[in-house]
Structures are given as structure tokens and as C-alpha cells.
């Protein structure tokens, strides 16, 4: 009884302290009203829609950090990242849709926030909406393009981003190949890394680590958000009001939010989502029709696919999941190891190098189950006394061979010049099982509606 009484007092005391903390935190968040005087808005749907905007705030960072994280140049006062976040009505699912910042957009009639000049509706890149009209014009433009009514607006700059990452203790990111971007300063060898706020900023801003530019960067940003959710849900941030308040406090000084979306609302949302996991989050990008659409007076823009984009935003308005029900109902299996080449791109011929009946068929079936393109016709090898599994490959396909060897732990790589693209596996007596693998940038499965989505547990580190 004494223990129960003591706990009750502590809970009540913590509740009072928590309320005081929330009140003090609210004073640290800058308020904006992006919805003032807005007319002809889309009809409200089900669930909650938040427009999450990452702005270029390098002018608020110290000179030392600007040098360290390659943030030179003048700030553009524009949006570096734009995401539409939909939280389902039952608070069990969050869907994040990345909107390319270079998207071709029809900006509504507005008054320029800098010059005060009145502008008629005209075409621009999406990130120009913030530069010309701030949060209000950004919300109006996104609502006009998507047909989705925005309920809350949240703006994060470089400083608040770094502080948030540091507050949760860093975020774990993994890569199957080295990532180096001379522009952002990102330099990660292949493997798993715990990124602090500064390194995380380099990771999400990098555009020159592959040929995908902004589209590749959006996928990395989505992987990062999934990893951040994984970190927050695994170390108790969402379950512990005090920890959550610490995270909010760390970012409060450089965050802007709409009226009615304060720390009390954020805490209430976190409380409602206590059962939330990485598998509860979904990630996708607006379906693109052309990545280099030339627009007069603007230059190269990203043009959305009008039919597929319409279907995507209809699903958001109707509070429908973006991923297949079967995938969401499936029991979580082991996280797949990252490889440089997707198994779906690797052709394999299996040989049984032992006298164990059916071993070749077992290996062939296991490799095919994880995605490798096996011939489905295993043969007996010339030698039947092989103890250690061998992967024979042409050196021109060495990255494919490494992906295959990762799926066969303990196997030996043997280069055979001139063998061609077909890799050959000779199973030895050491074979036990195939380790599931996936490529870091594996193609996302297309839905019948024409857009692709993945759940957070499919993109976080193994």
C-alpha cells in the first residue's frame, strides 16, 4: 500500500511538473499563422495532415560549424526539404510523402513577402513559394497541388535538426557502399554508423553521392526519418514524457509551428501513438513523370505524374494505407543485411559439392527465396568433397559476387576471368542457411494505383 501511495504521489507530482514544463517550452517555439485569410481550401479528410518543412538556416549556425559541415555561401531563405506527414485517425499509422523541392508548381496569386509587390499566379519551382511568401504561400501552394487540407505546419531549420538528433543520442545509418560528397563533406565508408547532429545534416543534405540528385536524396531523408523513429521508439523517448520534453526543448528555440500545434498537442499526439514502431510508418515520394521538365523562365523542373499523384493524394485524404495490407499484417522477420547490388539483379547457378542428397536444391530454393535469380536447376559438381562453399565469379561482376557471398556467410570468393555474368555457387558441407539481403536502393514495389511505398522497418539498418 505504501509503495502504491508513493507511486501515485510521484505520478501526480510529475503531472504538475510536466504541465509547467510544457508551458515553458511553448514560449520557446516561434509561432506563425500560415492559415490566416486562406480561402477556397480543400475539404478536410480523415486523420491529421502536417506540412513539415526544412529550411536553409545556415545564417543561424556558428562560423566554425559552417566550415565543419560545408555550409558556406549565402542562405537562400527557401525550403530545403518538404514532406507531407499524414497521421491516421486511429493514430496507428503515419504516412510521409516527400515533395521534390524542384517540383513544377503553379503558385497562387500572392503578395511578395520581401518586396510587398502583388503577383498574379505563375509557374515556379516548389521551393520558391517559401522565398516569395513564407509559410502561408507554401501551404497554399501545396494544398493547391495536392488537394489535401493541411492541419498543422512545422518548420525545422539546420540548428533545430542537429539539436534534435543529438537529444535522442544520435541516429544509426548504414550503407552498403562508401558515400562521399565533396559538397556537403559527407564521407562514410560502407557499414553502420551512429551519426550526431552535424553528420546527420550532411547525410540528409547530400546530393552528389550518386546520379539520382534530389530524388536519391529524398530516399536518404526517408531512411533517416525511419531511423530516427526507430531510435525514438527503441530508447523510450515516446514512452517517457520527460525524455520527450527534453527532445522538444532541445529544438524549441529554432522551430516554428502553426498556432494550435504547440508542445501540449505534440505530447498528446505522442501519448496517443505509444504503440508506434518503425513498421507503423510509411514512406513514399510523389510519382514523377519527368525529372528534367524544361519550364520557360524557370529552367529544369520535376513534373509530377498527374494520374498517379492524384491517386496518391486521394489515399491520403481518405486515410488509406499506402502499403499493401499483406505486408503490414506479416509478422516482422529478421532485418535483411545490406548489399550493394539487389539480389533481383544477380543470376546464379548452384552446384552440390557434397554427397548430401538434395543440398543443391536446398541452396537454390533458399537463394531464390531471398530474391536471387537462380536457374532452378542445380547440378552435382565434379568434386563431391567440398567443405567450404565457393562463389565463382567474373571480376567484372565483383559487386554482384560480394552481394551473393553476403547471403552465404563463410563462403569463399573465387575470381574466374571470362566466366561472364552468371555466378556459380558450389555448396559445401559448411552450408547451413541463406541470410536474407536487400539492396540499399532496391526498387520499391509498385502498387496498383501507380505509386510505391515502403514501411520504416524495411529501410532501417539490419
**In this structure, what CATH number is given to the domain that contains residue 23?**
3.40.630.190
Asked if the model's pLDDT at residue 252 lies above 70, the reply is no
How remote is the C-alpha of 140 from its chain's centroid?
Answer: 25
Q: Same structural domain for residues 349 and 254?
A: no
Task: For residue 392, tell me if it sits in a domain.
Answer: yes
Distances (CA, A) of 416 to 146, 390, 395, 401, 420: 53, 12, 7, 11, 9
Q: Same structural domain for residues 101 and 216?
A: yes
Instruction: Output the average pLDDT for the chain.
Output: 82
Q: HEC profile for 377-442?
A: CCEECCCCCCCCCEEEECHHHHHHHHHHHHHCCCCEEEECCCCCCCEEEEECCCCCCCCCEEECCC
Q: Same structural domain for residues 155 and 25?
A: yes
Q: Same structural domain for residues 45 and 116?
A: yes
CB 55 within 8 A of CB 67: no
Chain segment 72-102, per-residue pLDDT in tens: 665 566 677 899 999 999 888 999 999 988 8
Q: Same structural domain for residues 157 and 247?
A: yes
Name the β-bridge partners of 283: 96, 454
Asked if the model's pLDDT at residue 253 lies above 70, the reply is no
- What distance in Å separates the CA atoms of residue 421 and residue 71, rounded to the nearest whole number? 43
pTM of the entire structure?
0.75
* pLDDT interval class at 462 (50, 70, 90): confident
Q: What is the predicted pLDDT for the residue at 109? A: 82
CB 171 within 8 A of CB 231: yes
Range of the domain at 425: 341-439
| Cell numbers found for residue 356 | 548430401
122, 124, 123: which is closest to 102 by C-alpha? 124
Q: What's the mean pLDDT in 265-289?
A: 80
The radius of gyration computed from the CA coordinates of the chain, to the nearest angstrom, equals: 25
Residue 125: in which H helix or E strand, if any? strand 122-125
Question: What's the CATH number where 425 sits?
Answer: 3.30.70
- Angle CA 361–363–369, to nearest 5: 100
Task: For residue 188, tell me if it sits in a domain.
Answer: yes
| DSSP label of 314 | H
CB 203 within 8 A of CB 223: no
Per the structure, the count of domains in the chain is: 2
- What distance in Å separates the CA atoms of residue 218 and residue 102, rounded to the nearest whole number? 12
Q: Same structural domain for residues 323 and 347?
A: no
Chain segment 125-141, per-residue pLDDT in tens: 898 888 888 899 999 99
Task: For residue 336, tell me if it sits in a domain.
Answer: no
Chain segment 151-179, per-residue pLDDT in tens: 999 888 877 788 888 888 899 988 888 88
Asked if the model's pLDDT at residue 212 lies above 70, the reply is no
* pLDDT interval class at 224 (50, 70, 90): confident
Amino acid at each position: 500500500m505504501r509503495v502504491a501511495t508513493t507511486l501515485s504521489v510521484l505520478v501526480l507530482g510529475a503531472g504538475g511538473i510536466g504541465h509547467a514544463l510544457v508551458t515553458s517550452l511553448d514560449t520557446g517555439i516561434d509561432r506563425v499563422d500560415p492559415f490566416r485569410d486562406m480561402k477556397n481550401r480543400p475539404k478536410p479528410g480523415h486523420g491529421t495532415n502536417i506540412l513539415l518543412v526544412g529550411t536553409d538556416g545556415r545564417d543561424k549556425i556558428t562560423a566554425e560549424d559552417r566550415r565543419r559541415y560545408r555550409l558556406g555561401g549565402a542562405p537562400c531563405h527557401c525550403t530545403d526539404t518538404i514532406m507531407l506527414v499524414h497521421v491516421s485517425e486511429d493514430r496507428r499509422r503515419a504516412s510521409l510523402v516527400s515533395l521534390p523541392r524542384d517540383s513544377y508548381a503553379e503558385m497562387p496569386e500572392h503578395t511578395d513577402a520581401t518586396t510587398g509587390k502583388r503577383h498574379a499566379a505563375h509557374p515556379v519551382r516548389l521551393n520558391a513559394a517559401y522565398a516569395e511568401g513564407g509559410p502561408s504561400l507554401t501551404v497554399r501552394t501545396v494544398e493547391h497541388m495536392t488537394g489535401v487540407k493541411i492541419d498543422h505546419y512545422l518548420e525545422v531549420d539546420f540548428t533545430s535538426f542537429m539539436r534534435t538528433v543529438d537529444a535522442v543520442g544520435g541516429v544509426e545509418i548504414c550503407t552498403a557502399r562508401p558515400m562521399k560528397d565533396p559538397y556537403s563533406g559527407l564521407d562514410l565508408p560502407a557499414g553502420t554508423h551512429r551519426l550526431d547532429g552535424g553528420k546527420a545534416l550532411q547525410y540528409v543534405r547530400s546530393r552528389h553521392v550518386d546520379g539520382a540528385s534530389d530524388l536519391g536524396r529524398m530516399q536518404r531523408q526517408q531512411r533517416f526519418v525511419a531511423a530516427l523513429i526507430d531510435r525514438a521508439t527503441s530508447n523510450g523517448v515516446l514512452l517517457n514524457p520527460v525524455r520527450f520534453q527534453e527532445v522538444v526543448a532541445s529544438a524549441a528555440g529554432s522551430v516554428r509551428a502553426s498556432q494550435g500545434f504547440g508542445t501540449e498537442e505534440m505530447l498528446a499526439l505522442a501519448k496517443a501513438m505509444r504503440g508506434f514502431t518503425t513498421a507503423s510508418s510509411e514512406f513514399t515520394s510523389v510519382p514523377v513523370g519527368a525529372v528534367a521538365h524544361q519550364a520557360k523562365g524557370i529552367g529544369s523542373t520535376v513534373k509530377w505524374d498527374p494520374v498517379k499523384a492524384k491517386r496518391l493524394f486521394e489515399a491520403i485524404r481518405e486515410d488509406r494505407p499506402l502499403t499493401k495490407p499483406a505486408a503490414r499484417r506479416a509478422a516482422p522477420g529478421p532485418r535483411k543485411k545490406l548489399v550493394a547490388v539487389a539480389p533481383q539483379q544477380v543470376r546464379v547457378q548452384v552446384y552440390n559439392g557434397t554427397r548430401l542428397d538434395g543440398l543443391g536444391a536446398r541452396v537454390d530454393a533458399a537463394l531464390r527465396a531471398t530474391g536471387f535469380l537462380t536457374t532452378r536447376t542445380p547440378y552435382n559438381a565434379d568434386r563431391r568433397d567440398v567443405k567450404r562453399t565457393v562463389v565463382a565469379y567474373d571480376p567484372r561482376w565483383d559487386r554482384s559476387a560480394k552481394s551473393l557471398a553476403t547471403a552465404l556467410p563463410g563462403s569463399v570468393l573465387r575470381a574466374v576471368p571470362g566466366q561472364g555474368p552468371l555466378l556459380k555457387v558450389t555448396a559445401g558441407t559448411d552450408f547451413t542457411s541463406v541470410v536474407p539481403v536487400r539492396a540499399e536502393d532496391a526498387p520499391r514495389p509498385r502498387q496498383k494505383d501507380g505509386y510505391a511505398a515502403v514501411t520504416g522497418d524495411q529501410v532501417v539498418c539490419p
